[in-house]
Structure formats: structure tokens, C-alpha cells
Structure 1
Amino acid sequence: MPSRFDTRDLFGEALAGMLQRPARSALTALGTVLAMGTFVAILGITSTASSQIDSRFNRFTATEVTVEDVAAEHDELAGPAFPDDADVRIEALNGVEHAGVYWNVRAESPLTVRSAPVGTAKDGERTEVVAASPGVLRAALPTLAQGRVYDGYHEDSAARVAVLGSGTAARLGISRLDTQPAVFIRDEPFTVIGIVDDVRRKADLLLSVVVPSSTAERIWGPPETNAAKMLISTQRGAATQIAHEAPTALRPDHPEYLKAVPPAAPKALRGSVTADLRQAFLVLAAISLVIGSVGIANTTLVAVLERAGEIGLRRALGARGRHITLQFLTEAGTLGALGGLIGTSLGAATVIAVAVINDWTPVIHPLTVALAPVIGLVTGVVAGLYPAWRAAGIQPVEALRR
């Protein structure tokens, strides 16, 4: 009568084999736990980070428009393309929050900045001097360490005031404003009224000395050809429309003198960033999965060698090779699935913990959670193929001689 090995017996034998050495079984499952935990955590953190990137993009970058002066490309004799009331014209458009014109000041000799009145112009360090209307500073959304930014009064009166980026202030040794410190751009004094600690737009302001555009024009003249630009902050969803309207609003006679640069499409940017992150992290998850598979295969193979006598006895009692193969595959698959379940739970907990620490909203795709235990099961079965094949090949006589 041929031997039979029904499903109940199969799982009973597999469970008995795993419980026979629980410490070894736990170590076997540990590789899958780590691999699946890493897999779920990486995908979850990637999705969560991508969501935050998308949110921040929509909040800042997607509401930013830059307008460039390209008049010289159309008429070599054309002067500065931006009119004197450029800020007022753009801020009158529906959807615009703040707008301002700026340029990097250029002079016949390099501009140097120092914080002491003594010495010559050559004694200071070369620092970027940015001429900007008040709207630029408002559009940049600065966080002030001390003081304030200049306003329309300073612009209208061409006041000699300056706002320093935190990096520039530190280099010049200016750490407080209650003493009304001044900086000397070449030999021109400017009272420092504010120190900017951070900006949401135009980060190069942190390494610059920013002065009113009217003051810069009075001292160093108008901007060079194609040097001036305009920074516009808009309400959400208005950037593309403002980019289309701005050249005409500024120069209805020659809108081609101005080039508006709208923000990139948020969906395209989000998709690109998410794809790059997911590809990089999936490689790490795959490596972890391979390591877990090797651990299961190694431990299962050791178990086969240790249980050679048991296998030989079962073969002598009528068990066939396929029964032995199914038993060890079931053991390996069960340990893989169990490791996948535990790993999934740990990975999800990691994603939630990271999101809570960073004040994010955790994002985990349901399919990731559903597939992780299945992947653990498949990993265990694949890893157990060779050990199971070795076990099925053990001959009863040779095993019983050991």
C-alpha cells in the first residue's frame, strides 16, 4: 500500500520540526523579519517623504515665478526692461502676493564689504551685493534673527540701509543690532537694520548684503544689460497664469523684452523624485531580502544535515522523497511567512515612528502591507528548495548508519 501524506500530517510534521529547536527556528525567521521590515519601512518612508516633498513644492516652489530682462536679445539699444513701478504693476494682478525687482550690483572695481570705517576699500572681503526692492524680501519669506527688513519708505527715500544674510553677518562679526552697526561697501556706509536667518525662496540672500534698489541706482547706477530679474510669489494655482500675464503687464509696448519662468509641473517633479527615491531604496530592500534568503537556506541546510537520522528512519518506514521535500519546504515557507508578518509590523511601526518624530503624515500603500508576508513566504520556499532537495536525496541505509 503506498504511503500517504495528507495536509494535516504535513503541517503537523513541519510544526514539530520547527518546535524541536525553537531557538534555531527563531534565528531562521530573523533574516526574513529584518528583510521584510526593511522592505516595508523603506517603501513607507519613501512614500511619506515623497508626500512631504510634494506638499512643500506646492507651498513654495509652485507659487514662485521669475521674470528675466531679455531686452538686449531683441534690441541692442534697449535700456532696462523693467519700469520704475514694476512692483506696483505686478502686485495689482489677481493672485500675486508679493513682487520685486533685484540684481547683483556690479561696479568698475570689485565691491568689498567691511564692518569698520577705517582702512581702504581693498581691506574688506568680496561679498555679493544685491539691490532689491522691498517686494523681493517679502516674496523670499525671510525668517529674521534680529531687526527688520526695509520697506517702501526706505526705497522711496533711497535710504542707506542694509539687510544681511546670517552667513555674511557672521563673517563681518555683526551679532547684534542694538548698537546700530554699519557696513561699508567700498567706502559707502550702510546701517544694518536686519539679519536674515533663513529664507524660503532665493537662498543666496543668506550670503549677500541686500540694499534698496533705489539706493543702489543712486550710488552705482542702473543694472547692467539683462542683469535685473523679478521675483514673484503667488497664491496656489496662480503661478502659470501670472507667468503668462506678467510680461504684458510690465511692458505692454514690448512684452518680448521680458521672459517669465513659471514653476515646473508639480506632478512631474513629484513623480521624478518619488521614482528616484523608490529605485534607490528598493535596491537596499532587495539586498536585505537576499541576505534573509541566504540565512534561511543556510539554517535549513544545517537542519537537514542534523536530522539525517530522522529522515532516514522516515524513509525506511515508507516516506517518499516528495514527502520529505514538502515537509522541509513547508517549514521554510512557514518561517518565511511568519518572518514576513512580524517584519511587516515592525516596518509599519518604523514608518509611523519616523512620521511622528518629523511631524509628517505617514503614508503606507495597502498593497505593500498585503504583499510583504506573501513575499516572505515565497522567499522562504525558494530558500528552502536546495535543502529540501538534499533532504529528499538522503538514502535510508546511509542515514541509519550515522
Structure 2
Amino acid sequence: MFDQIMARIAVRFGRVEARASARAYLLGLLSKAERKNCWQLAEQAGHARPGPMQRLLRYARWDADAVRDDLRAYAVEHLGTDGGVLIVDETGFVKKGRASAGVQRQYTGTAGRIENSQVGVFLAYATSRGRALVDRQLYLPESSWCTDPGRRQAAGIPDEIEFATKPRLAWEMIAAALDAGVEAPWVTGDEAYGQDPQLRARLEEAGTGYVMAVACSTRVRINSGLTPVRADTAAGRLPVTAWQRWSAGSGAKGPRHYDWAWIHIGTDEHRHLLVRRNRTTDELAFCLCWSPTTATLAELVRVAGVRWSAEECFQAAKGQVGLDHYQVRHWTSWHRHITLAMLALAFLTAVAASAAPNRPADSHHPTRGNDPITLTVPEIRHLLATVFPAPALTAARLLHWSTWRRRHQATARRSHYRRRGTNEPAG
């Protein structure tokens, strides 16, 4: 299967050196290397220096968007089935300094607070067979980047890249997936995307259903009423009989059961407010829903529950294939590393799906007797270390890389001290 995925993307690399580096890079991402940056991937591949890996991300001639298209098609080919869902979500990459493309102090859910970071907007594809990240866009803040030509040029941001809100980036990725023939009747996302009326309108124009989280203060019209009411007010008026208990999918401790209710809103027959109530705390959460055809409450609950798949993808991508291990600043380099990491994760997910084609993809599904659970992404990556062993590490090569790292660190330290000395005020 690895040879097949390499054959699929080989045409994207014009030179044999770049193809070889891409193969080594992917194998490094799948390896047990502690960190998945160019230095450790080069050492893992048996290279004498990180140059080939660095050239792959920065200077080699290949189109990361074309590889992204191959990745998306690969994911659909191996995971596609009825009821597919596209999920829009974002994740942060905490960084130091101000030179990395798109970096600034901004809120990121990764840290749970405002940090100096980059934010990537991602599109995930989820079915009963598995889930994978299939597209990505680096968010470019308007005030600190879009209006600073010098900073843009230093980070390699193309002139045609203009400011776009995160929901706009999400729509561009959704539209590209639909245009490519991805069969996904549903889209879901959190409040950052559900609160955007333009994104919801574009989905309706495309005939794609959605279950999008919104705030409790969102106002909706009930029974064609002239005066809209807050979502939490509408939920408070529901009778006890309106609530039904459904599972929103399985979590680490088994099925996630909540109480659910839905309220018909507006004049559209297929438009609803979906309300989720926590069985322990009574905390409420809300989603605006629309579908081109009649949908059941069970179907809306299923789609709402799939939204957590994006977080699972981020955890797997960062923990297993080094999505956030990069040490690059350039716009092109960021998209190239992220794309290759997404491809590595899609490969692991496809292997897991093919290993259990007739069993639920949910690893928490009950098993019989002593039957093991289905193969997971971490377990498959662990097994691949035997299939793709790293080149023998001799004492001479180990010392060579130790010397290389320490020389680089000494150069970086001198540069840092020189910069600090230049900025110190005269005594």
C-alpha cells in the first residue's frame, strides 16, 4: 500500500532526487523518530546532512496543492461510503519569534489561551470506515501580515494571497472537495464556523446539508413567528417529552449519551435548531441544521457527533506523524510539510480500514471473547517500524550528527547574542 501511494504522487515530483526525498520524508513521518523535523528525518533516513529534506520543503519543484488533490482522492477511495461528512476545524501551532508565516499573538485552542502561534484551518473527511485530514489553509492575520509587504516577502507569501476569514477559508476547501466529486451530503463545524451566515448560505446554495454549532445567544424564528428568540430561550420552553436520549458516537470511555431535542425554525421545512443537553450537568449546546431533503433527528445527532472526529485527527496527526514538529518559516515550506504529514496520516487510516473492512471503524466497538480491537493508527505505525527499518546507526554516524547539531546550536547562539547586543541601549 505504501508503494501504491508513492506511485500515485510520484508524477508530482519532476526530479528523481525530489521523489526519493519525498519517500524518505514520508517514511520518517511514519517512523519512531522522536521529532519529525528535517534534521531528525534526515538522520532517520541515513543522510549525512539535512540538506535534501530542507530542499524538499523549500526549493524543490513540486506542487503541494496537487499532492493535496491526490491525498483527498486517496482518502475518499479508501474511506468513502454512504453518509460521509466534511468537518471544518482549526488547530494552532505555538511558535517563537515573528518570522514564521502568519504567526502572531492569537487565541489557539491547542494552548487554551492567547499565544504566539500560527493557526491552520483544516478540512477533515469522516465516514464509518475512518477519518482523515484532506485539506489545509494557513490563516493569515489581516493587520499584522496582509498589509506588511516586507514581512510578506520575507516569509514567501505569494502576492495573490489576500486576507480571508477562517469561514471563508473553510468554504474554499469545502467547495474544492465538492468540485472534485467528494460525496459528502453533510458538513459540520464548531461555533467559529457555524456563526457565519455566509458560510451557511453557500452550503445551502450548493445543496449540502449542515449541522453547525452556534452560540446560545443565536436568535431563531419559531413557527414562522415575527419575533426571533434566543436559542436558549427556545430550549427552555420545550416540554419534557421533547427530549430523546441518543449516543453521539463513542469516546474513550464508551458511547457518549446525551439528551437531544429539535425545534423546527423558519419557514423552511428542513431547517431546525438541534439542542444537546448534558445528562450530568444539564449544560446545553446548540446547532443550526439544514438539509435539502427530510432528515431524521437520529441523522442530525449522528452528524453532530462526527464533529469530534476532527479533534481526533489533530491528535493523531500531531502525536503520530509530526504535524506540528516542523521548524520552517516559509509559506511554501509550511504547506509542504503539513500536506506530507496529512498524507502519512491518511495512509495509516487507509491501512486500518483495509485491515478490518467488515468491522466498525470505531475502535471502542464491543468485541467478543478475547477478540482484539481493530487495528488503530498508533498500533499500525508501531508495526511499520519493522516493515520499514531505519538504516543501521553506527557509532561514527551517531557522532557525526551529534557534532552537526552542536555546531548549528553554537552558530544559533552566537547569532542570538549578537542580535541581543545590537538591540541593547548604550550605557
Q: Shorter-chain TM-score: which interval?
A: under 0.3
Normalising by structure 2, report the TM-score.
0.20
Name the TM-score, length of structure 1 as normaliser: 0.20
Higher helix share: 1
Q: Which has the higher contact order (CA 8 A, sep 6+)?
A: 1
**Higher Cα Rg, which structure:** 1
